[in-house]
């Protein structure tokens, strides 16, 4: 038989709104080119705690170009 032990929640306050996370490309914080995002929910409460920009091909290419330029400049 499986015994489960429940642990009380800490009482820590959940965020009043989700943290917004964007991409850092070439020193600039930016959202996704197509506006796509994804959410992360607290597994304990089901509340959205983070909303992040969802990277795609455009963000990948921009990040690669910025990294290449930084490497070539010796930054």
Q: Per residue in 1-52, pLDDT tens?
A: 566 665 566 666 777 899 999 999 999 999 999 999 999 998 888 899 999 9
Residue 58 in domain: yes
Nearest Cα neighbor of 52 from 29, 71, 69, 75 is 29
Report if pTM > 0.75.
Answer: no
Q: Tell me how far apart the alpha carbons of residues 40 and 60 are, in angstroms, rounded to a whole number.
A: 21
The band of 58, judged by pLDDT with boundaries at 50, 70 and 90, is: very high
For residue 5, the model assigns a pLDDT of 61
Residue 10 in domain: no
Q: Tell me how far apart the alpha carbons of residues 32 and 59 are, in angstroms, rounded to a whole number.
A: 7
Buried b (16+ CB within 10 A) or exposed e, 43-73: eeeeeeeebbbebeeebeebeeebeeeeeee
Residue 7 in domain: no
For residue 24, the model assigns a pLDDT of 97
* Residue 55 domain boundaries: 19-73
């Amino acid at each position: 038989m499986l015994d489960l032990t429940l642990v009380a929640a800490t009482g820590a306050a959940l965020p009043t709104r989700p943290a917004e996370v964007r991409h850092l490309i070439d020193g600039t914080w930016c959202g996704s080119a197509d506006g796509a995002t994804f959410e992360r929910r607290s597994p304990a409460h089901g509340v959205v705690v983070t909303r992040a920009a969802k990277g795609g091909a455009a963000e990948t290419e921009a990040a690669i170009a910025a990294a290449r330029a930084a490497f070539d400049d010796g930054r």
